[in-house]
Structure 1
Amino acid sequence: MIQSIGSNRVLIISLIAWFIAQTLKVIHTLIVDKRFNAWRFVGSGGMPSSHSAFVMSLSTSIGLIHGWDSSIFALAICLSLIVMYDAAGVRSAVGKQAIIINKMIEDIHNKKQKKVTEQRLKELIGHTPVEVVAGAILGVIIAYLMI
């Protein structure tokens, strides 16, 4: 069973696309923020979307192997669209809400000079549409290169 999973080309390509996207996030942070942030290897949000790269490499690999008219491709592309919509929509909105809530906590703390016990919320959760599209393109390219 483990050997079968380890030889699954579609899974391997998808994992490689995810890894490349996560590595690009570290490089992007290094260039833009001029600092190395190892958490970008595993963190969500940022450029490019590793979720999009993962699911689009999955969909593209399945389409190339099983055909663009196969049911399994239809399932994979539907999953990809849901994941990418969520990354750019719902998770992005949650990140914006976290920024506002964190600012409110900071304001309360500053006005009352009391220690606010609430923890800061993670703000980098979702993606901009550009980050999602970049991740999707990356995933498609990696799948085409590796099939």
Structure 2
Amino acid sequence: MHNIYNFPLVSALISMILAQVIKVPLNLFLGRTWNPALAFSTGGMPSSHSAAAASLATSIGIMNGLDSSLFAIAAVVCAITMYDAAGIRRHAGLHAALLNRITQNLSQITRDKTPAAHLKELLGHRPLEVLVGLVLGVVISFVLYYIIL
């Protein structure tokens, strides 16, 4: 059966976009603040990186089988992406928060002769945010498969 579009690519993109869009109402519900900019930023619940990678791997698994080399590649890339989102990128965000506090204190001590840094702190994800992104990506792939194909 020939498809007129690339199912894994479409599934991954839809999962990524949906994960980004979900951040805004979820933040309103949980944090009681309306912040549409969250749809265009990194970090937060759910992880769009994890959703996209999981959706890509799931779609490839559906189309080519779980024993295919393509699925193996996608699964490994998915695992690396999720590890990076919850590990390295999250710790970089924690470091940015600490540096922001240090430079803010230094600026106060030097009476604003040393400007405070304003580094972006929300870079990575908590493990739960990565897990929710994973589940979202898998579910989106199966829903799209059964609706479209």
1:40 pairs with 2:38:
yes
Q: Cα offset for 1:86? A: 0.2
Q: What amino acid sits opposite 1:65 in the alignment?
A: M
1:111 pairs with 2:94:
no
Choose from 99, 102, 116 the match for 1:101.
Answer: 99
Provide the rounded CA distance (Å) in 2 between the counterparts of 1:10 and 1:139. 11
Identity percentage of aligned residues: 41
Q: What per-residue deviation string (whole Å, max 9, x for no partner) do you get for residues 46-91 of structure 1?
A: 0000000000000000000000000000000000000000000000
Choose from 83, 87, 101 the match for 2:85.
Answer: 87
Match of 1:61 in 2: 59
Q: How many residues align?
A: 142
Provide the rounded CA distance (Å) in 1 between the counterparts of 2:91 and 2:19. 22
Provide the rounded CA distance (Å) in 1 between the counterparts of 2:12 and 2:113. 45
Q: What amino acid sits opposite 1:144 in the alignment?
A: F
Structure 2 residue runs without a partner (length 5+): none
Choose from 124, 127, 137 the match for 1:126.
Answer: 124
Q: Cα offset for 1:112? A: 1.7
Question: Is the contact made by 2:19 and 2:133 (CA closer than 8 Å) also made in structure 1?
Answer: yes
Match of 1:137 in 2: 135
Q: Cα offset for 1:115? A: 4.3
Q: Cα offset for 1:42? A: 1.4
Q: What amino acid sits opposite 1:13 in the alignment?
A: S
- Structure 2 residue matching 1:41: 3-state secondary structure: helix
Match of 1:78 in 2: 76
After alignment, is 64-73 or 16-25 more displaced? 16-25
RMSD value over aligned CA atoms?
A: 1.3
Taking structure 1 as the reference length, the TM-score comes to 0.92
- Structure 2 residue matching 1:63: 3-state secondary structure: helix
Q: Cα offset for 1:9? A: 1.4
Provide the rounded CA distance (Å) in 1 between the counterparts of 2:113 and 2:81. 38
Provide the rounded CA distance (Å) in 2 between the counterparts of 1:81 and 1:7. 26
Q: What amino acid sits opposite 1:66 in the alignment?
A: N
Structure 1 residue runs without a partner (length 5+): 1-5
Provide the rounded CA distance (Å) in 1 between the counterparts of 2:16 and 2:33. 22
Match of 1:3 in 2: none
Q: What amino acid sits opposite 1:143 in the alignment?
A: S
Q: Cα offset for 1:32? A: 2.6
Provide the rounded CA distance (Å) in 2 between the counterparts of 1:99 and 1:119. 10
Taking structure 2 as the reference length, the TM-score comes to 0.91
